[in-house]
Amino acid sequence: MSHSFLQEALIYLAAAILFVPVAKRLGMGSVLGYLLAGITIGPFVLGFVGGEGNGVIHFAEFGVVMMLFLIGLELEPAQFWRMRRLILGSGALQLGLTTLLFTGAFMVGGFHWHAALAIGLALSMSSTAIVLQTFREKGLDQTQSGRCAFAVLLFQDMAVIPILAALPLLALDSLQATGEPGTFLAQQPGWIQTLALLGAVALVILGGRFLVVPFLRFIARIHLRELFTASALFIVLAVAYLMELVGLSPALGTFLAGIVLANSEYRHELESDIEPFKGILLGLFFISVGASINVGLILHRPLLMLLLVGVIIGIKCLALLVTGKLTRLTLDQNLLFSLGLSQVGEFAFVLFSFMSQLQILSSEWTDALMGLTALSMTATPLLLLFNDRLILSRFWPRFGVPEKAEKDADEIDFHHPVIIAGFGPFGSTLGRFLRANGVEATILDNDSDRVDLLRRMGFKAFYGDATRIDILQAAGADKAKFLIAAIGSPPINHNVVETAQKHFPHLTFLVRAENPIDAFDFLESGIRDIYRETLDTSVRLGVDVLVRLGHRRYSALRAGQNFIRYDEEAMHKLAPHRHDRSAFISNVREQIQIQEELLANDRAANPSLNDHAWDNQRGVGAPDPK
């Protein structure tokens, strides 16, 4: 059955719309929903897309190319430097130990050490896209396991370049070509291919610095946002195409392009412009992965394929558990870290394809390993669900960890009128302020290490997921008066509020909003007490600037309070227009003008004549009132 591009695109989007909400509703996460959608519409089940599987390849390639560009764009050298010990320590340990175990296993299975080492390097990769998205959805990106997972993934991403450079050297014994024509580079000895790859990497980096950034600077001066976005996409696809022309990985090229642009002054603008595409591109990639799974092969030898997937995940879990133990993760965090990274990552598709091109692997083994990679990705959300619902909730006391017992006792004995969900920097400041004024609060946080630290500091904290009804019930939500949603992840914060609104509607909700868009989402859900985390701090800084410029502190403080009041009123007026871009911009301009006029009228009233009665401290250069 042949389909046009528009037909296949429509099928992809329809599958995502159908499967992802169901998966989310069942608590399986969006990643598994995309994978199931791909399996269902793929050539091996319903056959809606792909025909013989060829049509899927183009979608998958585009998804991989754009996904790796986005990953590269998010890498910051400054962040790498801050986490260098964790990255180099845990990352190198995981990669080395996993590669060693897989190399030994495949050598025992009869592979030459060159091929076994190449396979081990590929299988040691984990999925940056799956892990980061899953951890963010669960609000675990700032936990101990989340930080360690990010460090390992970052090391793996950076290691792809030297691995790709080393693969031609591992093909020295297999360069007796089959006579099939290929690129000029593919016909050269391995050391020439390695030098060519390193040269291409250097060329992309230098070209990005001396050609791409000046080009974007020129485009930016035209002040057309859509042209800037189109230019960024052009650069990505051009780099991918050029890398493909010389026989190298286009995905590697776009990854490098992302890293180069991450170091430019246009990084945040690019992230803002491409952000609307990010989710759908990741979804496209996962659907393509699901569609590429050869269900016929699995059904033909189901026990063998499942056994191999289990062995791969088991070996990776073993290496990750050792890594987590040496990194001093607690047992619950180590389980989350190990199961979360137990899949084989998207870079493995790139590496296996390159190995096939170098004739390190036969086409049969390449297809089999790619299928096992896709299956391992599919298994990851299920493993995390198993960890959350069975191991931690039902069998956790058998591990002898005291947090659960303490938590049960606290849930029974301590019910306060205020519940704080999330005790990071924002929540902890609020909690300390309330307690200093005689108001106790029940604290919920899903980072066990933070909970342990809070208990040592004297806070009565609970380890638990505030999106779960039973946890809220145990914390006394049915008797409490206020629920403060202060979790750092906006999606998790919204889930907490949505769950509590359904089951505890009597609560008064006070919520932390990360930005105006986050605040608009809460307004649409009926929440009115919204606290934007940067608003008061920004205004307080402005007040200090006014004082240093000569304004009386009382006048400056009153101007700051008036500005906050006017801005809160403007937020409620702008919310209905947030989905209409032109109307939203027009209303923003109008509200800014109204705020400036109101503040100007406040200044014209000249209240500072009597302000010295409250605070006679004047800024430098302030006139002396008479």
Interval 313-336: pLDDT, tens: 999 999 999 998 898 888 878 888
- pLDDT tens-digit map of 431-487: 888 887 778 888 888 776 777 777 777 777 777 778 878 788 878 888 888 998 888
**Non-local CB neighbours of 89 within 8 Å, separated by 6+ positions:** 327
- Model confidence band, residue 402 (pLDDT cutoffs 50, 70, 90): very low
Lowest-pLDDT range of 203-217, 222-236, 282-296, 409-423: 409-423
CATH T-level topology, domain 77-175+184-276+296-395: Na+/H+ antiporter like fold (1.20.1530)
**Burial class (CB within 10 angstroms; exposed 0-12, middle 13-18, buried 19+) of 188:** middle
**Non-local CB neighbours of 420 within 8 Å, separated by 6+ positions:** 427, 430, 431, 441, 442, 443, 444, 484, 486
Lowest-pLDDT range of 57-61, 219-223, 310-314: 57-61
Highest mean pLDDT (candidates 319-333, 357-371, 404-418, 458-472): 319-333
Highest mean pLDDT (candidates 60-74, 101-115, 437-451, 579-593): 101-115
- pLDDT tens-digit map of 67-87: 667 767 766 666 666 677 888
Instruction: Give backbone dihedrals phi and psi of 371, rounded to 5 degrees, phi first.
Output: -65, -40
Say how far apart CA 301 and CA 94 lie, in whole Å: 31
- pLDDT tens-digit map of 247-301: 666 766 777 777 777 766 677 677 666 666 666 776 777 787 777 777 777 777 8
What pTM value is reported for the model? 0.54
Tokens of 149: 């997972």
- Model confidence band, residue 120 (pLDDT cutoffs 50, 70, 90): very high
Tokens of 605: 């009233």
At residue 626, the pLDDT reads: 40
Count how many Cα atoms sit within 13 Å of the Cα of residue 35 in the half-sphere of its side chain.
Answer: 22
Ranges of H-type helices in 481-534? 490-503, 516-524
Residue for token digits 């809460």? 522
Residue for token digits 């390849």? 57
What percent of the chain shows pLDDT beyond 90?
7
Region of 5 on the Ramachandran plot (φ > 0 left; ψ -120 to 50 alpha; else beta): alpha
489-492-498-502 Cα dihedral, nearest 10 degrees:
-140
Say how far apart CA 194 and CA 173 lie, in whole Å: 15
pLDDT(536) > 60? yes
Q: What is the CA radius of gyration of the chain?
A: 28
Say how far apart CA 548 and CA 272 lie, in whole Å: 35
pLDDT(139) > 70? no
- Model confidence band, residue 389 (pLDDT cutoffs 50, 70, 90): low
Tokens of 49: 């897309």
| Residue 143 DSSP symbol | S
At residue 552, the pLDDT reads: 80
Which position has the higher pLDDT, 162 or 65? 162
Instruction: Give backbone dihedrals phi and psi of 410, rounded to 5 degrees, phi first.
Output: -65, -40
pLDDT(179) > 80? no
Residue 133 Cα distances to 30, 127, 137, 391, angstroms: 9, 10, 6, 22
Residue for token digits 């995905």? 251
Identify the three-state secondary structure at position 393.
helix
Residue 94 Cα distances to 88, 103, 370, 471, angstroms: 10, 14, 21, 34
At residue 409, the pLDDT reads: 32
The C-alpha angle 349, 244, 238, rounded to 5 degrees, equals 110
Evaluate whether 512 touches 164 at the Cβ level (below 8 Å): no
Identify the three-state secondary structure at position 398.
helix
At residue 50, the pLDDT reads: 66
Mean pLDDT of 130-153: 78
Evaluate whether 500 touches 479 at the Cβ level (below 8 Å): no
- Model confidence band, residue 379 (pLDDT cutoffs 50, 70, 90): confident
Highest mean pLDDT (candidates 38-52, 179-193, 244-258, 467-481): 467-481
Say how far apart CA 291 and CA 43 lie, in whole Å: 7
Measured N-to-C along each axis, helices 347-357 and 363-386 cross at an angle, to the nearest 10 degrees, of 170
- Model confidence band, residue 1 (pLDDT cutoffs 50, 70, 90): very low
CA-based nearest residue to 291, from 66, 120, 63: 63
List the strands of the sheet with 441-445, edge to edge: 461-463, 441-445, 418-421, 482-485, 508-513, 529-532
Highest mean pLDDT (candidates 113-122, 164-173, 196-205, 379-388): 113-122
pLDDT(393) > 60? no
CA-based nearest residue to 347, from 206, 520, 572, 156: 156
Evaluate whether 550 touches 620 at the Cβ level (below 8 Å): yes
**Burial class (CB within 10 angstroms; exposed 0-12, middle 13-18, buried 19+) of 175:** middle
Provide the residue ranges of all domains of the chain, joining segments of one domain with +.
77-175+184-276+296-395, 403-533, 542-610
- Model confidence band, residue 178 (pLDDT cutoffs 50, 70, 90): very low
Say how far apart CA 27 and CA 317 lie, in whole Å: 23
At residue 248, the pLDDT reads: 65
Q: Count of CB atoms within 10 A of residue 559's CB?
A: 19
Buried-exposed string 462-497: b where 16+ CB fall within 10 A, e elsewhere = bbbbbbbeebbebbbbeebebbbbbbbbbebbbbbb
- Model confidence band, residue 117 (pLDDT cutoffs 50, 70, 90): very high
Instruction: Give backbone dihedrals phi and psi of 89, rounded to 5 degrees, phi first.
Output: -75, -65
Identify the three-state secondary structure at position 445.
strand
Element (H, E) at 511: strand 508-513
CATH T-level topology, domain 403-533: Rossmann fold (3.40.50)
Residue for token digits 């930005």? 515
- Model confidence band, residue 388 (pLDDT cutoffs 50, 70, 90): low
Say how far apart CA 118 and CA 231 lie, in whole Å: 36
The rounded mean pLDDT for the chain is 75
- Model confidence band, residue 361 (pLDDT cutoffs 50, 70, 90): confident
98-104-109-110 Cα dihedral, nearest 10 degrees:
130
Element (H, E) at 529: strand 529-532
At residue 67, the pLDDT reads: 66
Measured N-to-C along each axis, helices 250-262 and 267-292 cross at an angle, to the nearest 10 degrees, of 160
Tokens of 140: 């675990």
- Model confidence band, residue 63 (pLDDT cutoffs 50, 70, 90): low
Residue for token digits 């170098």? 358
pLDDT(606) > 50? yes
Evaluate whether 291 touches 50 at the Cβ level (below 8 Å): yes
